Amino acid sequence: MKELFANRVLANDTSDLDEIFKNSANPENISFAGGFPDIRRFPDADLKQAYQTAIDQQGPAIFQYSATEGPQNLRQKLADRMASHAGVTATADNIMLTQGGQQAIDLVAKLLLNHGDAMVVEGPTYMGALAAFDTYEPTYYEVPVDQNGMNIRALRKTLQAHPEIKLIYTIPDFHNPTGTTLSAKRRQAMVSLANQYDVIILEDSPYRDLRYSGKSVPAIKHYDTEGRVVFISSFSKILSPALRTGWIVADQPIMAELIGLKSAIDVQSPNVTLQAINSYLDQHDIDAHIATINAAYRLKRDAMLAALDRYFPKNITYTRPAGGFFIWVTLPSDIDAKQLLETQVLPQAHVAYVPAACQFASRTVKNGFRLNFTSLDPVTITAGIKRLGVLLQANQAVAPVVPLKTAIQF
Ligand SMILES: Cc1ncc(COP(=O)(O)O)c(C=O)c1O
């Protein structure tokens, strides 16, 4: 029957990932694979109250069809937040609510990408974005990431060599999967390049508010002078992913088209949830809530970094993120992290991570993996990294001596 499936489905092979997440569900394993928030940080009682208040205040009207872009009062709150937290000037008309950041990525891809169209992604990048883009069958150009985010010199070269590129997809704040943040200078340079080469930038920033050290940098959209940056974010990491609520900030004519595309897909996001989020924001100080999350996540990040420093072999490098959910580990160039996971890490150390290959559009880089530090408690984090470190040390003892030449290095 598969021969009946469209090419876009066949191009999209998620079997590796399904396997990883299936294995990490085993309670015997310590899984650093999923990009999950800490379940203990969900404000469930406050959210319950917010749903109740929204329903009580609005009566049956809350259950009616409503505007595709979402309620005006919530869009206005998000416009205000974009100004205060990201340095972005926007009105409520520049905002649309979506079913998570994931739908926002899909909508922008649907707006821009014909089969074979050229786009830039970071190498590595968010695998969920690759899954969304894959269905539009683009031609990917991969630009490496270093400790200051996407390498702008490499981006310039790529745009020079491929002037047909239409879209740059970037995760500038606490990048998934490396945890790195794009410097302000690079943000400005990226916008200049987009202006010069007539490219749209998709700025995907769900981790922006989760900063544990250092100073905030304005959004890339802050530097946008031509309405070519589309900013997306989400309540998934700061409130709860089950709300399935994200938002897009875009100028005209992009916003009008995105509203039309969303209307054709799902008419609107669930109004009850959007009104409940609006009530939550009326009744609670979300920044105070974020501050409590950040304090907890800072401890987890520090626990993971301390364990990595203590238990990992010295020729294995890793990022030291100032926020977000992830640390990226770079192995010696001859080690295939997926093979290591399947043959040793899962069966012997009972630890899971996300190996490099599925996080690269090219699928060619194998010597790295992503670790999540937000979902587990510090004691479990330390125990899991110790198990992994002991295995890697033993592996090194028997591994052939090879020159330390890493495919990617931070
Ligand atoms: C970089 C990035 N973008 C978008 C998303 C999608 O999140 P959601 O659809 O839950 O808002 C995620 C989730 O992990 C992510 O890491």
CATH at residue 303: 3.90.1150.10
Q: Is residue 244 part of a domain?
A: yes
The pLDDT value recorded for residue 400 is 46
Distant-in-sequence contacts of 392-401, Cβ < 8 A, 24+ apart: 392/312, 392/313, 392/316, 393/311, 393/313, 395/340, 395/344, 396/313, 396/315, 399/332, 399/334, 399/335, 400/334
Determine whether the shortest distance from the Cβ of 204 to ligand 1 is under 6 A.
yes
Mind giving me the DSSP string for 214-238?
A: S-----GGGG-SSS-EEEEEESTTT
123 lines ligand 1 (CB under 6 A): no
- Ligand 1: does its nearest atom lie under 6 Å from the Cβ of 176? yes
pLDDT of residue 320: 97
Residue 350 lies in a domain: yes
DSSP 3-state assignment of 43? coil
Task: DSSP letter for 135, please.
Answer: T
Question: In whole angstroms, what is the distance from residue 188 CA to residue 222 CA?
Answer: 9
Domain-embedded: residue 405: no
Most ligand 1 atoms within 8 A of CB, residue of 17, 36, 97, 102 to mutate: 102
Q: Is 236 in the pocket of ligand 1 (CB under 6 A)?
A: yes
Q: Which of 178, 234, 325 to mutate for ligand 1's pocket (most ligand atoms within 8 Å of CB)?
A: 234
Let me know whether 77 and 208 are in one domain: yes
Q: Is any atom of ligand 1 closer than 6 Å to the C-beta of 177?
A: no
Token duo for residue 67: 């505007």
Q: Evaluate whether residue 403 is within a structural domain.
A: no
Distance CA 124, CA 362 (A): 9
CA of 224 to the centre of ligand 1 (A): 23
CATH of the domain at 225: 3.40.640.10
Q: For ligand 1, say whether the CB of 206 is within 6 Å of any of its atoms.
A: yes
Q: Assess whether 91 and 169 both reside in one domain.
A: yes
Which residues, 6 or more positions from 254, have their beta carbon under 8 angstroms from its beta carbon?
111, 200, 227, 230
Residues 239 and 357 both lie in one domain: no
Residue 383 domain boundaries: 2-42+288-398
Residue 59 and residue 163 share a domain = yes
Given the CA of residue 99, which atom of ligand 1 is nearest to it? 9
Res 398: pLDDT: 55
Same domain for 109 and 256, yes or no, is: yes
Nearest in space to 273 (alpha carbons), one of 318, 235, 300: 235
Give pLDDT tens digits along the chain (410 positions).
888 888 888 766 666 667 666 666 778 899 999 999 999 999 999 999 999 999 999 999 999 999 999 999 999 999 999 999 999 999 999 999 999 999 999 999 999 999 999 999 999 999 999 999 999 999 999 999 999 999 999 999 999 999 999 999 999 999 999 999 999 999 999 999 999 999 999 999 999 999 999 999 999 999 999 999 999 999 999 999 999 999 999 999 999 999 999 999 999 999 999 999 999 999 999 999 999 999 999 999 999 999 999 999 999 999 999 999 999 999 999 999 999 999 999 999 999 999 999 999 999 999 999 999 999 999 999 999 999 999 999 987 555 444 334 445 45
Per-residue pLDDT at 43 = 97
Number of domains in the chain: 2
The minimum-distance atom of ligand 1 relative to the CA of 241 is: 10
What is the whole-number distance in angstroms between the Cα of residue 173 and the centre of ligand 1?
12
50 plus 155 within the same structural domain: yes
Last residue of one domain, picked from the residues 283, 312, 331: 283
Same domain (yes/no): 127, 11: no
Q: Does 410 map to a domain?
A: no
Instruction: Answer yes or no: are the C-beta atoms of 100 and 148 closer than 8 Å.
Output: no
Question: Which atom of ligand 1 is nearest to 101's Cα?
Answer: 11
Q: Which residue, by CA, sits nearest to atom 4 of ligand 1?
A: 101
Environment class of 22 (CB within 10 Å of its CB; exposed 0-12, middle 13-18, buried 19+):
exposed
Ligand 1: residue of 126, 273, 358 to mutate (most ligand atoms within 8 A of CB) is: 126
Task: Please report the pLDDT score of residue 401 as a whole number.
Answer: 44
38 and 58 housed in the same domain: no
* 398/227 Cα distance (integer angstroms): 55
Give the domain-ending residue among 235, 262, 283: 283
* 185 and 307, same domain (yes or no): no
Do the strands 149-150 and 167-170 form a parallel or antiparallel pair, or are they unpaired? unpaired
| 234 in contact with ligand 1, CB cutoff 6 A | yes
Distance 177 CA to ligand 1 centre (A): 11
Q: 269 and 359 in one domain?
A: no
**101 CB within 6 A, ligand 1:** yes
| Same domain, yes or no: 308 and 232 | no
Q: d(Cα 233, Cα 207) in Å, to the nearest integer?
A: 8
* Alpha helix (H) residue ranges in 41-181: 44-58, 72-86, 100-112, 127-134, 152-161
| Claim to verify: residue 245 and residue 123 sit in the same structural domain | yes
Instruction: Please state, as a whole number, how many other Cβ atoms lie within 10 Å of the Cβ of residue 305.
Output: 18
Which of 203, 236, 370 to probe ligand 1 with, by most ligand atoms within 8 A of CB? 236
Cα dihedral value 168, 227, 269, 132, nearest 10? -10
Distance 67 CA to ligand 1 centre (A): 24
| Residue 297: per-residue pLDDT | 98
Domain boundary among 227, 255, 283: 283
How far, in Å, from the CA of 283 to the mean position of ligand 1? 26
Q: Tell me if 302 is assigned to some domain.
A: yes
Q: Ligand 1 within 6 A of 98 CB?
A: no
* Domain presence at residue 242: yes
Q: Establish if 245 belongs to a structural domain.
A: yes
What's the pLDDT score for residue 15?
65
246 close to ligand 1 (CB < 6 Angstrom): yes
pLDDT at position 19 is: 66
